[in-house]
């Protein structure tokens, strides 16, 4: 994990308006970077990569957090307010352009798939619902509308 990537994640973190929101922005931005890094044909030394991420996590938000807990956070309902925040995705797009915002639903799906394989728990829930809402309407189908 290079210094530039760390600075980008921290820039997104600073867009949070409270300490809790900033921590959640950090977790989500970092988790998305981690998941995007898995999209390679090269062999990955997970022990080395996880150690680098865990050191950065510890230095940034303190003990009690690991890349594993970040990925668990991203597979649960608490990530939804981050994804639906008016600040997170624009900040992520601005500072983390090498992980396109359009890939976020795919990366979250990947995370859910891995979580299911590890735990055997059904992935249905708020994150899957959010992913489904991001899909474009089929050609010729009317676009969904928000009803007030």
pLDDT, one tens digit per residue, over 28-67 is 999 999 999 988 888 988 899 999 999 999 999 989 899 9
Q: pLDDT band at residue 138, thresholds of 50, 70 and 90? A: low
Is 147 domain-assigned?
A: no
Is 96 domain-assigned?
A: yes
Residue 123: pLDDT above 90? no
DSSP code per residue over 99-119: S-GGGHHHHHHHHHHHHHHHH
User: Residue 5: how many CA atoms within 13 Å on its side-chain side?
Assistant: 16
Is 113 domain-assigned?
A: yes
pLDDT, one tens digit per residue, over 14-33 is 999 999 999 999 999 999 99
Is 93 domain-assigned?
A: yes
Residues of the domain holding 66: 3-134
Asked whether the beta carbons of 35 and 53 are under 8 A apart, the reply is: no
Q: What is the spatial distance between Cα 114 and Cα 65, in angstroms, rounded to a whole number?
A: 19
Is 119 domain-assigned?
A: yes
Phi and psi angles of residue 79, each rounded to the nearest 5 degrees, phi first: -80, -20
Q: pLDDT band at residue 137, thresholds of 50, 70 and 90? A: low
Is 143 domain-assigned?
A: no
pLDDT, one tens digit per residue, over 57-103 is 999 998 989 999 999 999 999 999 999 999 999 999 999 999 999 99
Asked whether the beta carbons of 79 and 73 are under 8 A apart, the reply is: yes
Is 144 domain-assigned?
A: no
Task: Quote the pTM value.
Answer: 0.86
Q: What is the spatial distance between Cα 79 and Cα 24, in angstroms, rounded to a whole number?
A: 7
Is 104 domain-assigned?
A: yes
Q: Domain count for the chain, please give it.
A: 1
Q: pLDDT band at residue 124, thresholds of 50, 70 and 90? A: confident
């Amino acid at each position: 994990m290079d210094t530039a990537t760390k600075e980008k994640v921290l820039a997104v973190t600073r867009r949070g308006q409270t300490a809790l929101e900033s921590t959640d922005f950090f977790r989500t931005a970092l988790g998305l970077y981690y998941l995007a890094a898995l999209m390679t044909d090269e062999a990955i030394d997970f022990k080395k990569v996880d150690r680098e991420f865990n050191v950065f996590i510890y230095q940034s938000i303190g003990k009690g957090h690991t890349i594993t807990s970040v990925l668990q956070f991203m597979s649960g309902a608490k990530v939804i307010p981050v994804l639906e925040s008016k600040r997170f995705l624009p900040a992520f797009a601005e500072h983390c352009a090498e992980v396109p915002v359009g890939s976020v639903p795919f990366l979250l799906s990947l995370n859910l798939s891995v979580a299911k394989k590890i735990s055997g728990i059904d992935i249905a829930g708020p994150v899957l619902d959010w992913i489904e809402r991001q899909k474009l309407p089929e050609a010729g189908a009317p676009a969904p509308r928000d009803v007030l």
